Copies of this chain bind each other. A is one copy, B any other.
Amino acid sequence: MNYFSSDFKLGILGGGQLGKMLLAETRKFDIQTFVLDPSNEAPCKFGASEFFTGNLMDFDAVYNFGKKVNLLTIEIENVNLDALKKLEQEGLPIYPSPKTLELIQNKGNQKDFYVAHNIPTAPHKRFIDLDALKNAISLGTLEMPFVWKSAQFGYDGNGVKIVRSTIDLDNLPNIECIAEQMIPFKNELAVIVARSVSGEVKTYPVVEMEFHPEANQVEYVICPARIDEKVAQKATEIALKVSNIFNHVGLLAVEMFQTNNDDPSAPHELAKQILVNEVAPRPHNSGHYSIEASYTSQFENHLRAILNLPLGNTNSKVAGIMVNLVGEEGFSGQVVYENIEKIIAIDGVTPHIYGKRETRPFRKMGHVTIVNENMTEARKIAEDVKNSIRVISN
């Protein structure tokens, strides 16, 4: 198949920032792209060959869009699966597959899948709704504290809450959910696995994540993670095992907790104590650093993988740190990136502005990548960047 400057059309479900950064790669390769998104002001509005508006959860919208393209991928998991299944039956290649998406869309199923395949993960219980969960607490079969997670549509931390007492349950929605045992951890890690149609597999280096304590959104992604080489190996092995059981095509970002029992030379049970948190079958926030730091960005490798082209080198040229730009609390409206001129004056600092005109508290508006030959220097600059730039409104 000839993709470059040809009639081939790649369809992308979702037109947000991940789609936008993927479009940068399709433009570089001159591959035609059609994008579907509910918002006419989506970041992918420009850069696609054709942009369509439509509800991604609507059967007809997704099905009709799928009939226009030669291959379909996603930049968001919450899409109409029935439409994807029908399109796949009719012969359309879809990566990740509807089967993979179905498993991932429900966190309860996803967790059960890990347990069934001996993937280390924090112990969990599933509940049909919040009432059932409350009932379990009263019966004494569920003990606090635990991590409440909505089973579906849990995205960017909005569906996650730590429950320490019954008061914390008060404002939770009465929907399907899981309760996950709270495991103390030293670090959050992630490994992105690229896997092509023909089964070629490459992993990106292990990254380390620091979260904002309130917003539960990533503040820094650091590549490579400043961890013991053996821990990195273990995390990579686990990510490859997860990739293998999903049998995905494209990227799979595997998020993990490095617990206090992470010594890889320890006996089997303890050595398992790098725990898989969740996965995303697509380019991921934890891989944005790769645009500037890696030989091949995660977006280019997602494209290569789904088109069954050889995968690119996942190694880094230099150390990379990513800082998310999220809307500051107390500001809503037309966005202003205060001090952006100040941060881009620093060597190795590149802002990515996603193209959302309106800011809201904690809304992901962009990210900044800091690259440097020296990790310590990069980390120092990252802190300067984080302390300087403000995403506010005017």
- Contact among B20, B340, B348 for A313, CB-based, below 8 A: B348
- Which of chain B's residues have a CB closer than 8 A to the CB of A341? 309-310
C-alpha gap A53/B8 in the complex (Å): 25
- Report whether B27 and A351 are in contact in the complex, using a CB–CB cutoff of 8 Å: no
- Contact among B47, B296, B300, B313 for A27, CB-based, below 8 A: B47
- Report whether B344 and A5 are in contact in the complex, using a CB–CB cutoff of 8 Å: no
Q: Does A113 contact B (CB under 8 A)?
A: no
Please give the distance in Å from A41's CB to the nearest CB on chain B. Answer: 11
Number of interface residues of A (CB under 8 A): 44
- Residues A4 and B317 in contact in the complex (CB < 8 Å), given A46-B46, A49-B46: no
* One of A61-69, A119-127, A257-265, A354-362 contacting the partner: A354-362
- Which of chain B's residues have a CB closer than 8 A to the CB of A212? none
C-alpha gap A109/B359 in the complex (Å): 51
- Report whether B354 and A30 are in contact in the complex, using a CB–CB cutoff of 8 Å: yes
- Report whether B28 and A27 are in contact in the complex, using a CB–CB cutoff of 8 Å: no
For window 333-356 of A, CB contacts with B under 8 Å fall at 335-337, 340-341, 344-345, 347-348, 350-356
Q: Does A155 contact B (CB under 8 A)?
A: no
- Residues A5 and B313 in contact in the complex (CB < 8 Å), given A27-B24, A46-B47, A348-B295: no
C-alpha gap A4/B27 in the complex (Å): 21
Q: Does A371 contact B (CB under 8 A)?
A: yes
- Which of chain B's residues have a CB closer than 8 A to the CB of A27? 20, 24, 46-47, 355
A/B interface sample: 9 pairs, CB < 8 A: A5-B356, A27-B47, A46-B48, A47-B47, A295-B347, A295-B371, A304-B344, A310-B344, A317-B373
